[in-house]
């Protein structure tokens, strides 16, 4: 494991130190199988501040000249403005971060791991979209979706992830095209992904956060070397003057130090950042399409009226309370169900074993989807020449293999949920 991995990373590190970034006992390193990460270059004590990045060195919408921001219509996403500034901003200002740009991933690297770029190729779009998990693509191979299943609109952050991301990108692209008609799609989508994958949460103390978290973004030099772990031992704080990173336990020399990007499912991480974790306590799958198919219109209306409509989550430990509520409405009388979900009559009419049976049936439908899609991918991989005859085929092969590994994870999660459900059919986990 080499640190810094090459001269450009060393030059960037030296630049960061020269502008007031404090770096204590850490350095970027090439992690086998995972590109770059941050490691301890010596023993680090618990409570030690390992990195501070001043606000003045960050790229935020507030550090962009007001004259540039004013070119965009009201309501333009901050995400779009940041990406546009990297393309068309004042060269004198942008030169400040030249050493930083050299260590960013290339577009080719994004194309290897970001599903949103996999669909750029019409040749591969259909086959790749058909094998992505339903939470990513909104598509199924073993379940026929009918118009009107989800008859009530509802907000969902962790489903149809790729479609939501494509909508965000397309919205930004339309704005950019109106301000800079000469804009190039490949260049813009590259900088849009730079912002998307490397940004930190940015809201000044005392200010209300924006309605859309995509408008609370900032690029923080050097801090973007940190990889994500769901339970990272690194405290991250922004106080309005600087970002501070503090070790929350002792780290030995050579040990990788992670930060947490938030409690996200692996499908979310895959779509937004181009990777997923081997072990992720926040991983989950959603049964909405399966459950909607099993509900009557009156049951859907009742769930909607009590804020239990949609976002039916399953983890390895079992179902969330929303899923349990959907299961119990299948057999409880309306009055008893209302009292049950309101907590005023927890026993009357509620049968944990019956709920468990219903939920297991739903999970088994998802398990069937796992087996069906795993079979499809394995057949697709078998048709590939070995070794692949072209670089394009090799890239396609690796993408399919990545998706296959994710499906194996999902299958294991469903199997664990079936084992853990026992006879209760409910979990203490919140949604």
3-state helix, strand, coil in the chain (%, to 5): 50, 10, 40
Q: Find the mean pLDDT for residues 372-380.
A: 95
Indicate the range of 39-53, 273-287, 321-335, 341-355 predicted with least confidence.
341-355
Q: Please, where are the H alpha helices in 180-217?
A: 185-198
Q: Which domains does the chain have, with CATH numbers?
A: 7-58+222-259 (2.170.270.10), 66-143+156-219 (no CATH), 285-421 (no CATH)
Contact criterion met (CB below 8 Å) for 117 and 189: yes
Rounded alpha-carbon distances, angstroms, from residue 13 to 120, 126, 241, 395: 34, 42, 21, 32
- CA–CA gap between residue 226 and residue 250 (Å, rounded): 17
- CA–CA gap between residue 385 and residue 64 (Å, rounded): 50
Q: Find the mean pLDDT for residues 284-302.
A: 96
pLDDT band at 428 (very low <50, low <70, confident <90, very high): very low
pLDDT band at 6 (very low <50, low <70, confident <90, very high): confident
Q: Find the mean pLDDT for residues 227-254.
A: 97
Residue 37 has pLDDT above 60, yes or no: yes
Q: What percent of the chain has pLDDT over 70?
A: 91
Number of helices (H), then strands (E), in the chain: 18, 13
Query: CA torsion angle for 54, 55, 58, 59 (degrees, to 10)?
Result: -170
Contact criterion met (CB below 8 Å) for 110 and 82: no
For 66-84, the pLDDT digits (tens) are: 999 999 999 999 999 999 9
Mapped onto helix, strand or coil, the DSSP state of residue 240 is coil
Higher pLDDT, 90 or 392: 90
Mean pLDDT score of the chain: 91
For 136-157, the pLDDT digits (tens) are: 999 999 988 766 656 678 889 8
Higher pLDDT, 126 or 50: 50
Strand (E) or helix (H) holding 303: helix 297-305
Strands 256-259 and 227-228: parallel
For 297-346, the pLDDT digits (tens) are: 999 999 999 999 999 999 999 999 999 999 999 999 999 999 999 987 66
């Amino acid at each position: 494991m080499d640190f810094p991995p090459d001269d450009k990373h060393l030059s960037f590190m030296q630049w960061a130190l020269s502008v007031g970034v404090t770096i204590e006992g850490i350095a970027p390193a090439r992690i086998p199988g995972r590109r770059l990460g941050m490691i301890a270059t010596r023993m680090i004590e618990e409570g030690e501040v390992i990195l501070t990045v001043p606000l003045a060195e960050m790229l935020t919408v507030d550090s962009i000249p007001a004259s540039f921001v004013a070119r965009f219509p009201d309501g333009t996403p901050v995400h779009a403005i940041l990406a546009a500034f990297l393309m068309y901003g004042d060269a004198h200002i942008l030169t400040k971060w030249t050493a930083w740009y050299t260590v960013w991933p290339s577009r080719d690297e994004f194309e290897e791991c970001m599903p949103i770029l996999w669909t750029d190729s019409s040749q591969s779009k259909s086959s790749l979209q058909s094998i992505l998990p339903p939470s990513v693509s909104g598509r199924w191979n073993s379940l026929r979706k009918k118009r009107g299943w989800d008859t009530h609109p509802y907000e969902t952050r962790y489903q149809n992830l790729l479609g939501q991301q494509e909508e965000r990108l397309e919205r930004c692209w339309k704005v950019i095209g109106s301000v800079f008609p000469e804009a190039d799609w490949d260049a813009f989508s590259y900088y849009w992904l730079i912002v998307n994958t490397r940004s930190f949460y940015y809201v000044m103390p005392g200010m209300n956060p924006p309605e859309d978290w995509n408008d609370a973004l900032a690029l923080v030099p050097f801090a973007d070397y940190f990889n994500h772990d769901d339970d990272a031992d690194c405290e991250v704080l922004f106080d309005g003057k600087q970002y501070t990173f503090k070790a929350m336990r002792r780290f030995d020399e050579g040990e990788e130090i992670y930060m947490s990007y938030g409690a996200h499912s692996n499908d979310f991480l895959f779509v937004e950042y181009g990777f997923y974790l081997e072990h992720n306590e926040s991983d989950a799958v959603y049964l909405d399409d399966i459950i909607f198919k099993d509900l009557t219109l009156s049951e859907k209306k009742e769930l909607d009226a009590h804020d239990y409509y949609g976002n039916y989550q399953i983890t390895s430990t079992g179902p969330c309370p929303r899923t349990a509520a959907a299961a119990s409405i299948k057999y409880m009388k309306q009055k008893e169900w209302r009292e049950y979900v309101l907590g005023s009559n927890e026993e009357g009419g509620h049968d944990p074993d019956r709920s468990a049976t219903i939920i297991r049936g739903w999970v088994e439908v998802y398990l069937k989807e796992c087996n069906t899609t795993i079979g499809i991918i394995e057949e697709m991989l078998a048709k590939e020449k070995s070794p692949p005859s072209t670089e394009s085929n090799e890239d396609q092969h690796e993408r399919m293999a990545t998706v296959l590994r994710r499906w194996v994870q999902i299958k294991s999660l469903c199997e664990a949920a079936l084992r853990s459900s026992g006879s209760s059919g409910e979990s203490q986990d919140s949604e």
